[in-house]
Amino acid sequence: MQAFSSAPIEAHMKHMECNVNSYLKITHHFYSLWKSQKQQNKLICFTSSSVGFFFAPYSTMYGATKAFVTHFASSFAVEAAHNGVHVCCFHPQYTKTSLYKNTERLSILDVLEKLGDTPEEVAEGIVKSCGYKLARRDFGWYSLVCKIFTGIWFEYNFLTPITAFVMTFVPEFAKYK
């Protein structure tokens, strides 16, 4: 996690490769194979993030690429349904992994770590989502709160200046500003 301007463009392009290009390549490969098969009940499950529909300061590219995954999966679900392929986009809340092990620790991670899910809990949630014909599955309290907060109560144009103001109270703000 770091400010957008402090990361080299190559780091941003790695996010694109990991969270956008790889999804496109794998999906295109398998969907092209499955489209001609008559067998029903095929599944493509994407793992996105609740950060894809809420602000992600200091994780700008991560949030942006996850927003792509969510929108791509949701739109693709409509196309694929006509060929017997179910598409589900899974939005877990913070998952307790070593993803940020070699990065500078932001204070928000300490909070999320206490409230997040283990990889096993996330995997169980994904498996339980299969077969319900959901195009999107928000998993965990944080994902649900983010979705409700930005989708029902407030609009982004209202939240942007408020979030920018609140960020001034985050301990790392002065460093990344």
Strand order in the sheet with 85-92: 42-47, 85-92, 136-139
Digit-coded pLDDT (tens) for 121-170: 999 988 888 777 778 888 888 787 777 777 666 676 677 777 778 777 77
Q: Where are the beta strands (DSSP E) in 40-177?
A: 42-47, 85-92, 136-139
Instruction: Say how many domains are in the chain.
Output: 1
Measured over the CA atoms of residue 63, residue 67, residue 68 and residue 73, the dihedral's sign is: positive
**Residue 126: beta bridge partners?**
none
Check which CATH number belongs to the domain holding 63 and give it: 3.40.50.720
Domain hosting 129: range is 4-176
Q: What is the pLDDT of residue 19?
A: 92
What distance in Å separates the CA atoms of residue 147 and residue 140, rounded to the nearest whole number? 11
pLDDT digits (tens, 9 = 90+) for 46-90: 999 888 877 788 788 999 999 999 999 999 999 898 888 889 999
